[in-house]
Structure 1
Amino acid sequence: MEQVTTVGIDLAKRVFALHGADGAGRAVLRRTLRRDQVMEAVAALPPCVIGMEAGSGAHEWARRFRTLGHTPKLMAAKFVAPYRRNGKNDGNDAEAICEAVSRPGMRFVPIKSLEQQALLSLHRVRQGFIAERTGTINRLRGLLTEFGVVLPLRSVIVRRDASKAAEALPGLARRAIDDLLAHLRVLDERIAAYDRELEAQARGCEPAQRLMKIRGVGTLSALAIVATVGDARDFKSGRQFAAWLGLTPRQHSSGGKSRLGHITKRGDAYLRCLLVQGARSVLHTATRHADRMSRWVQGVETRRGYHRALVAIASKNARIAWALLSRNEELRIE
């Protein structure tokens, strides 16, 4: 058998498919393995490039394969799909991954460390609690509406008036509303605890401290960028980083005519959301400042409108963040 130089692995919960190719691109390895057999099989291979789709558990497998002397690379699943030649199954997926990882123009996902994933887990769980809190408030409003009590959308008013409105309701309904209010208080406490932990993490993270000097980048945004990106030098430029976050326009150009549409919305939706939310604060406070950034922000809003100005600010902040991280510099305020 020829020496394997490139391997594609289709990750799964129990059964993994491997496809290996030699230096000429010929298939020399096709295997189906159980989860507990993967490390032994990969350890027996010579040092090679191992491609995987960036899904659940991919970063952990990449870290393990790296300790064996291999070069793991992760790719978005949508970039792998065009290389699948036949119907979708595990073997064809592994072959497509093996083909895609060898393409010179392929864009890869940075491999996260254990610390990065642990930090991101705080963000994910906190976001889950926030979504659950929003759902609980909506459930309260919907339940009270069934009894003719219509509360405004503002959460402060719902918290304040729900208990008072429940006093006139039957006992069973009152009990349900009291349980929802108690659950809401528990969620508030958990979210506050996560906020305190993230603030403590930000105080001890020097790159996050540098990023927080950017207007519109706070504790959450700075920590999320540090945990998501890792080594910013994996990106060639700030524009590539902004494009990776989905903050650049989608192109529909042909025949020498350039047509730009809405932003692509690729990449990490959570990080993109944080940057856009931070852009809102920059835009809303721009009239109070006379610096170069504020003048530019007001000019963009005048020319292109409110929402495009938000995206432009978020994209600019992403590029500034890339420059600070990749060059290990402090923000120079003009």
Structure 2
Amino acid sequence: MKLKTLAIDLAKNTFYLVGFDLDNQPVWRKKQSRRQLEIFIAKQEPHLIVMEACASAHHWARRFSQLGHQVKLLPPQHVKAYLRGQKNDYNDAQAIGEASLHGVTRSVPVKTVEQQDKQAFHRIRRQLMGEQTRIINQLRGLLGEYGIIIDTGIHQANKAIPLILEDAENGLTPKLRELVYRQYQRYLVLREELAWYEQQLEQVAKTDPDVKRLQDVPGFGPVNANVLCSWLGDGTQFSRARDASAALGVVPRQHTTGGHDRLYGITKRGDSYVRSMVVHGARAVVSRAKGKTDALSHWINQLVARRGFNKAAIALTNKMIRIAWVLVTRGERYKPALSM
């Protein structure tokens, strides 16, 4: 039987498949092991394969594309609405297929290996930074129980802990002193590891053309420019700049009923880490805009006066993402507006 669409519910070891015919009706169901799946797909005539954009989806999408199939990845949160009946793996696969056949759900672009490498880099770096913070906060809390207070900030703790360990008159027991020392050694190893990641970021900031162009935009530095580029890719998955800012969740949340429009806070869709990095860059620009006469600072200061600091920062975040989309997709350089 000739298929039009094949929907696959992905997992680690067992995969559930539902085939749709030319009339968009489900005609068969199959279960395949990880070893069997690629062999089975290779024997099929080229057709559309749809999957959720979840773990390992981009790997399988690249493999199936190499076998001559057209592949579409769908956002899991949008597929859920098409699930009917009890939740099981076959029904999940059928829901994926029906979401694709409906034609309204926007697909997720398949990531290249290079894009996944960049994302892995930032995820590991973020984890290391979080572990570093957790160690320092734990030491600060433990020492506080012994009446030793460390000022806020990781740099303050970095200076204070060696002095605390060397002070024989501060009342620390030998046991706790040993525990603090061992945790501090873990912290130093993490610092050394993070230094390598910072060197890699600096190198990319000097060599990657997209990251270099983004750093000309106020609010973008080597880190958040690199993070945004790894998320954005070539930008062609968005037809216009406002779609990129909407995908990252920095547009108002809308609730309209009975002809009455209501706009609330931002939607916060998309990658929260990427969004937070761009917001931090925007907040830095807004905090330093007062007293400046360039066109961007003039716009920021007027917005702060009307709507407050936080809303001005989010508005600037939206603008930064739109500018970044233009620079990446069109290969242009940032041209700041003339002074007011």
Q: TM-score of the superposition, structure 1-length normalised? A: 0.96
Q: Give 1:165 deviation, angstroms.
A: 3.2
Any conservation in 2 of the 1:4–1:45 contact (CA below 8 Å)?
Answer: no
2:332 match: 329
Counterpart CA distance in 2 for 1:225 and 1:139 is 31
Deviates more, 1:68-77 or 1:8-17: 68-77
1:147 match: 146
SS state at 1:286 partner = coil
1:206 match: 209
Counterpart CA distance in 2 for 1:72 and 1:103 is 16
Q: 1:273 aligns with which of 262, 272, 276?
A: 276
Counterpart CA distance in 2 for 1:179 and 1:328 is 50
Counterpart CA distance in 2 for 1:180 and 1:192 is 19
2:250 match: 247
Q: Give 1:85 deviation, angstroms.
A: 0.5
Whether 1:181 aligns to 2:169 is no
Counterpart CA distance in 1 for 2:22 and 2:315 is 44
Q: Give 1:303 deviation, angstroms.
A: 1.2
Question: Counterparts in 2 of 1:152-301, with a 5 A limit?
Answer: 152-166=151-165, 167=167, 168-301=171-304
Q: Give 1:159 deviation, angstroms.
A: 2.1
SS state at 2:260 partner = coil
Counterpart CA distance in 1 for 2:21 and 2:207 is 46
Residue 329 of structure 2 aligns with an amino acid whose one-letter code is: S
Any conservation in 2 of the 1:9–1:51 contact (CA below 8 Å)?
Answer: yes
Counterpart CA distance in 2 for 1:291 and 1:23 is 59
Any conservation in 2 of the 1:5–1:47 contact (CA below 8 Å)?
Answer: no
Deviates more, 1:316-325 or 1:199-208: 199-208
Counterpart CA distance in 2 for 1:219 and 1:164 is 33
Q: Structure 1, unaligned stretches of length 5 or more?
A: none
Counterpart CA distance in 2 for 1:288 and 1:119 is 38
Residue 13 of structure 1 aligns with an amino acid whose one-letter code is: K
Residue 66 of structure 1 aligns with an amino acid whose one-letter code is: S
1:316 match: 319
Any conservation in 1 of the 2:204–2:211 contact (CA below 8 Å)?
Answer: no
Deviates more, 1:207-216 or 1:142-151: 142-151
Residue 55 of structure 2 aligns with an amino acid whose one-letter code is: S
SS state at 1:73 partner = strand
Deviates more, 1:220-229 or 1:90-99: 220-229
Counterpart CA distance in 1 for 2:202 and 2:41 is 41
SS state at 2:19 partner = strand
1:82 match: 81
SS state at 1:253 partner = strand
Q: Give 1:199 deviation, angstroms.
A: 1.6
Whether 1:70 aligns to 2:69 is yes
2:110 match: 111
Residue 327 of structure 1 aligns with an amino acid whose one-letter code is: R
SS state at 1:232 partner = coil
Counterpart CA distance in 1 for 2:162 and 2:124 is 28
Deviates more, 1:84-93 or 1:323-332: 323-332
Q: Per-residue displacement from partner, 1:166-204 (whole Å, max 9, x unpaired)?
A: 443111100111112111111111112101112212222
SS state at 1:151 partner = coil
Q: Give 1:249 deviation, angstroms.
A: 1.1
Q: Give 1:288 deviation, angstroms.
A: 4.6
Q: Structure 2, unaligned stretches of length 5 or more?
A: none
SS state at 1:252 partner = strand
Counterpart CA distance in 1 for 2:205 and 2:31 is 44
Q: Give 1:264 deviation, angstroms.
A: 1.0
Question: Counterparts in 2 of 1:98-137, with a 5 A limit?
Answer: 98-137=97-136
Counterpart CA distance in 2 for 1:184 and 1:263 is 37
Any conservation in 2 of the 1:10–1:17 contact (CA below 8 Å)?
Answer: yes
Counterpart CA distance in 1 for 2:302 and 2:7 is 49
Q: Give 1:225 deviation, angstroms.
A: 2.3
Residue 137 of structure 1 aligns with an amino acid whose one-letter code is: I
Counterpart CA distance in 2 for 1:309 and 1:183 is 40
SS state at 2:162 partner = helix
